[in-house]
Chain A
Amino acid sequence: MNGRGNVGVRLAEIRRQRGLSQEDVARHLGVSRPTLVAIEKDVRKVRPDELVRLAELYGRTVHDLLVGAAMPVQPSFRVTDSAAVPEASLSEAEEAFRHACEDMLRLERDFGDLPRVRREPEAYAVQGLGPRAAGADVARSERDRMGLGDGPVGDLAGVLEDRAGLLTFSVRLQEFRIAGMFGYSEVLGGCVLLNASHPSTRARWTLAHEFGHFLMDRYREDVEVLYRAGRKSEAEARADQFAAAFLMPAEGLIRRVRSVLHTRREFTLGDLCWLADLYGVSVQAMALRLETVGQLPRGSWDGLEPSGKVQRARREIGLQSGARAGIRVPDRMRRLSVAAFQAGEITESEFAALLRRSRVEARDMLDRMSRREELDDDGAGLTLDLDLSTGLELAAAARE
């Protein structure tokens, strides 16, 4: 906890993140610039009324200013067209990302009794390889390292957190054109922010793409632009190639297509939709991937896209459409938040804010995480109350 004794450093840091000058903030508080400098250097203690007004100006809570952790992450963006996205929207998204990372860092600092295990792979050296070869090679290596085989990956964010140390946050951003952000810091590792308003298939693609940056361009900081006319940078093309190969490994796809052909001798639009659903990607992404791996003729997707046949086919085979990515915080953040709340170390408003949920949703999540329905020896229902706030005593023999 900072306490009010040394809150100045944090105030200065947040002011810089918000792109405000000392003059701007001093004027807002009605003090001179030297006074603000003294506050930010902890030479002059910030007064309570000043702290309240600074919290309003910075869009943070007073509690956050007092106990929050500093997060030196400079995120890179993934946006539809940077020229069309207002600077204010990029700032809002960046603030949401920093805030989420800071909350994670604070939980680790104050409540992470056991150090987090980060199965973080070394960055891959891909210089000299073309985007396609680099993306395919790294995707294969990572799938092997994580023991994923060549099938679909269910909970992608959970798998990447567990096996690659990548922390994924998904929050609703006002600006729909921002798909996601990636940032890396030594203290937290790789962090990704996804736009929860996006379709889940698109969010998965963004996550796989950002994972590609984590593996191949970890220390890069820039804005990535989607769908803009012209050539993509090599790093972006590489991350796209990686995403396609990682989400839809060629070997597994070819096997499944052959299995369909073996049974029915034709591969239909319904099969394409089913395969896309199975792998959690859009029909377009699946069609283009099948073209790349030689299972569909080049140009197949171009012939399908404008006809509306895809939507009809999805409906006919009973597939739901339009699911949104939804709100998400890393599994470890959820566990640490629940443990801290159960131990009475944080309040309910903090708990809900950490989970990026409303109060009732947070209580629901707490209920789900702290109870377990099982059957007793006689087959009767049994509810176990789980206390996540205290560690289990492991037998010494088990540790040896």
Chain B
Amino acid sequence: MADEVWDTCCVLNLIASGQARAVLRSRPGRVYVIREAMRSEALYVYSYPSREELLPADWEALVADRLIGITDVAPSEAPAFVQFSERLGDGEARCLAVAEERGMTLVTDDRRTIATAQKTVTPVRVVTTPEWAHHWALSEHVPPSVLREAILRIRASPRYDPPPSHPLASWWHHNLE
């Protein structure tokens, strides 16, 4: 199974879910983030359920536990990174360059990044938040109450909901009921 590179937007959803470790263990390949993409901006999530405090998103603990690997854009990948940077922010461009050059799956919800990934010379497979949540729920036989809580957390803190056109939008909302 292909290794994965996770964009910051999905890492935030993952941490907000409260199930980061379980989700990461369910992934079919090794999960990576790009060092520069993660460090170039301060990452926070709101406290749950109060939403009164902004708390640092503790992704480094997941790295320390070897659930997430850190990687960088290699010099040979710089041309792809710069090319994607004409359309994308640096964080998204770095992720897409690494995914394309190394044949990895890109995990992102960003609409513009997904559209760009669909136009690359070598097709890049994209996984979104509803898809990794769906895979986790099925592969780990997650009880409905636990799944519901994870989705509620993702909606409440980083305020993610799939667009209505997403193939798993109805599954997502059905699991909130």
Contacts and interface: CB of A to CB of B under 8 A. Distances in A.
B75 A49 contact: yes
A352 interface: yes
Interface residues of B, number: 36
A62 B82 contact: yes
A49 B80 CA distance: 11
Contact of A347 (B75, B113, B159): B113
Interface stretch (A74-82, A93-101, A276-284, A361-369): A361-369
A346 B112 contact: yes
B166 to A, nearest CB: 14
A360 B159 CA distance: 7
Contacts of A61: 40, 85, 89-90
Given A48-B82, A52-B78, A62-B93, A358 B112 contact: no
B54 A348 contact: no
Nearest to A340: B112
A237 interface: no
Instruction: Summarize A's interface: helix, strand, loop or mixed.
Output: helix
Contacts, number: 96
A66 interface: yes
B141 interface: no
Contacts of A363: 158-160
Contacts of B82: 4, 48, 51-52, 62, 66
Given A1-B86, A359-B41, A360-B46, 14 more contacts: A48-B78, A48-B79, A52-B73, A52-B82, A62-B90, A66-B85, A346-B89, A347-B91, A348-B109, A349-B8, A349-B91, A349-B110, A350-B88, A367-B159
Interface of A: 1, 3-4, 48-49, 51-52, 55, 61-63, 66-67, 344-350, 352-353, 358-361, 363-364, 366-367
Interface of B: 8-9, 12, 40-46, 54, 73, 75, 78-79, 81-83, 85-86, 88-93, 109-113, 115, 157-160
